[in-house]
Structure 1
């Protein structure tokens, strides 16, 4: 009971901390269209807010469709639609994932039209690499010929989720294809971990960085894909094996304190909270579903203890690395600054929502 009380209290503080995030004038990154980028505050429409909303909608489900959380989510999307949505790219697709789950549960017709239009534009307009991968173009940069781990979380999960809810198998098929294409070029055959990115312009994995948060996107994605859609058994079997291979490599790299470092296999890089939370979520969930073993579940619980210690008195998560572009050398990752963000809040929310299920 004491463990459950601590988790519930931490979750309440996290939600309050998420709502309080505001852009402080730092990290100004203008978009290609001249608008200012906002990767920190709660109300911006970008990938950090999208990941945050996904954490909140999962907590909303875990709390039996809590009315206050439901109003918070609906209000966020109402305000965004009143302002007008930005152009479509990989990162601006991220908020559509939580919206697809909200619509699946409520069938609000206002949301269906937005989701359908966005999904259609992803299918027809998103730039592609060779092999049909979705090119990782973002609001402030065109990344010609590049595949990134992040794309699977920001786009492929949305296609799977909305495709299943809207009975559109073409979208689910596309999501599966994206997982397979990205695995072909990003999964490291030597270790089982995943590289941050791949470029067809030179055909290489940049710094060959086994970046923690990128790997955490993969751990979470490889589990949540099966929650969001019905996947054919052949690719499902392959993707489950990829998950187990990654986890086998992850477990020995956990620090004594329960964290993972921002470069997983580099003891000189700093412990990073958002990735640790993502791994905690995936490891505990995988163990609960019988896809991963006892050791994975225990590692996830140690990681939860670590991330709870990183929650400040105002509910803001510390030790989170700022949004990370593609690095061409490993020092780039070691130098990424620490900054509270929506995705830091939400990945910890995901981890604690899963930890709550473990206490039931």
Structure 2
């Protein structure tokens, strides 16, 4: 093995503190974890003596992965147990299950860790931090067990394709996993159905048993078996109906959407409470259209169109898209947040594609969706930064580049160009964004530069905090597949020009 090829060196957990899971919380089925508290958790690498003997010292990344919803912000201290020397701190804020965090180590620190191991501790607060343990050495879950990643090379995209097309891209069931499933499914046209269908089955097998029953935890770590907790939880239905159109969960989703859209005061919107959200364009309208096209349900296609146009009327304001509109107070929040743009554009794009490739292409409202997609694509490009991506709030460059929203926006643009709604020049811009996103990949292909999910509110979003995220990898996969599954777009992408700007789209 060459040091240029990144590889995982799993740790052995030596003395896990004895704690019980918080009441009402549950780990994912088949997964195991240990707490990180004041009492140090010790990790060792007893089987790496041969590595030390044969290899020159090399930098590494020490990784741990969150196993239980974490609603706190703490610095996790990492130290050498023999000397007490502090190697650094892992900054974990408002993390969700399956989210990896890392600490960069120098070559000298890496060698010391391999010889001595490390201790990990944190001041205990109201929210305990649980991380996955060694997971019985399961190679398919190697990303999630504590490990050192050693090695680097100049082909992160190759490792990205391997990571996204495996359990390393797993996310909690709902909108997070839905982004990944969409990305993986799109890769069927790039990596082949035989390979990808096995990955989809492995992902869905984490949540659906052999009898079709749904087992998962909500984003607070609470049992949510057999139900949908919010309209954001239904995004995976878009892929489920594509691979298993007769699955019983499809009927359950339709019943859930009906229960959330029966309030006449909502004006026909499928929403949670009185909040109209951009997410609903992606997590409701798109799955509705996917089901409609496969089950030949015109009523569902009409509902999908309605969900998009009502959200357009509530959330679009000139070049801005809001994440939320509260009907009772008539207020908006999260103006031009990057993922609000992504949910709005990608939901509208994927819904339009489902309708255009079905018998429902000429339904009333489809032309309005097309007009809005052209308009919002131009609006998005007006906010694009010179380096080719978008900032966390599109109209606030000081909030810094945000990769997941950038991937979602670029994916929508690429898909619209692929299906003929936008000019080919838009595909060039999307391909350019993909190339820039590749620079944010870790050596093993995990996407960095992602703003944390917004449990921490506006302050966390504006503060420049960034994380690794498989959800972002799923959005990036949709962009990658849109470009590389079409020979015409792939050829365009190879002719990138530094002087392409917004002027080319006016």
Interval containing the TM-score (normalised by the shorter chain):
0.7 to 0.9
Give the 3 Å change call, closer, same or farther, for CA 322–219 of structure 1 in structure 2: same
Correspondence for 1:260: 390
| 1:324–1:336 Cα contact (<8 Å) kept | no
Q: Find the partner of 1:284 among 414, 418, 427.
A: 414
| 1:39–1:49 Cα contact (<8 Å) kept | no
Say whether residues 1:347 and 2:475 are aligned partners.
yes
Correspondence for 1:92: 233
Correspondence for 1:3: none
Instruction: Provide the C-alpha distance between the structure 2 equivalents of 1:162 and 1:216, rounded to a whole number of angstroms.
Output: 22
Moved more, 178-187 or 282-291: 282-291
How far apart are residue 62 of structure 1 and its match?
4.1
| 1:163–1:169 Cα contact (<8 Å) kept | yes
What are the residue-to-residue correspondences of 1:99-110 with 2, within 5 Å? 99-104=240-245, 109=246
Gapped regions of structure 1 (runs ≥ 5): 1-12, 14-20, 31-35, 137-143
Correspondence for 2:350: 224
Structure having the higher helix fraction is 1
How far apart are residue 72 of structure 1 and its match?
1.7
How far apart are residue 71 of structure 1 and its match?
1.2
Structure ID, larger Rg: 2
TM-score where L is the length of structure 2:
0.58
Q: Secondary structure at the match of 1:239?
A: helix
Give the 3 Å change call, closer, same or farther, for CA 314–235 of structure 1 in structure 2: same
Spell out, residue by residue over 1:54-81, the C-alpha distance to the aligned partner (whole angstroms, 9 max, x if none): 111111244441x222112113223312
| 1:196–1:214 Cα contact (<8 Å) kept | yes
Correspondence for 1:201: 328
Give the 3 Å change call, closer, same or farther, for CA 245–43 of structure 1 in structure 2: closer
Instruction: Provide the C-alpha distance between the structure 1 equivalents of 2:256 and 2:234, rounded to a whole number of angstroms.
Output: 10
Moved more, 293-302 or 152-161: 293-302
Instruction: Provide the C-alpha distance between the structure 2 equivalents of 1:336 and 1:315, rounded to a whole number of angstroms.
Output: 22
What are the residue-to-residue correspondences of 1:1-360 with 2, within 5 Å? 23-24=65-66, 28-29=70-71, 38=97, 40=99, 42=170, 44-65=172-193, 67-82=194-209, 84-85=214-215, 86=224, 87-88=227-228, 89-104=230-245, 109=246, 112-125=247-260, 128=263, 130-136=266-272, 144-188=273-317, 190-191=318-319, 193-206=320-333, 209-229=335-355, 230-324=360-454, 331=459, 333-335=461-463, 337-356=465-484, 357=486, 358-359=489-490
Instruction: Provide the C-alpha distance between the structure 2 equivalents of 1:195 and 1:116, rounded to a whole number of angstroms.
Output: 31
Instruction: Provide the C-alpha distance between the structure 2 equivalents of 1:348 and 1:132, rounded to a whole number of angstroms.
Output: 32
| 1:280–1:303 Cα contact (<8 Å) kept | yes
| 2:281–2:348 Cα contact (<8 Å) kept | no
Gapped regions of structure 2 (runs ≥ 5): 1-6, 8-62, 73-94, 100-168, 216-223, 492-506
Moved more, 71-80 or 50-59: 71-80
How far apart are residue 252 of structure 1 and its match?
2.7
| 2:184–2:477 Cα contact (<8 Å) kept | yes
How far apart are residue 331 of structure 1 and its match?
4.8
- Greater length-normalized contact order (CA 8 Å, ≥ 6 residues apart): 1
Instruction: Provide the C-alpha distance between the structure 1 equivalents of 2:438 and 2:96, rounded to a whole number of angstroms.
Output: 29
Spell out, residue by residue over 1:1-36, the C-alpha distance to the aligned partner (whole angstroms, 9 max, x if none): xxxxxxxxxxxx9xxxxxxx9842575159xxxxx9
Give the 3 Å change call, closer, same or farther, for CA 276–170 of structure 1 in structure 2: same
Give the 3 Å change call, closer, same or farther, for CA 185–288 of structure 1 in structure 2: same
Q: Secondary structure at the match of 1:290?
A: coil
TM-score where L is the length of structure 1:
0.80
How far apart are residue 84 of structure 1 and its match?
3.6
Instruction: Provide the C-alpha distance between the structure 1 equivalents of 2:306 and 2:456, rounded to a whole number of angstroms.
Output: 23
| 2:261–2:268 Cα contact (<8 Å) kept | no
How far apart are residue 352 of structure 1 and its match?
0.8
Q: Secondary structure at the match of 1:196?
A: strand
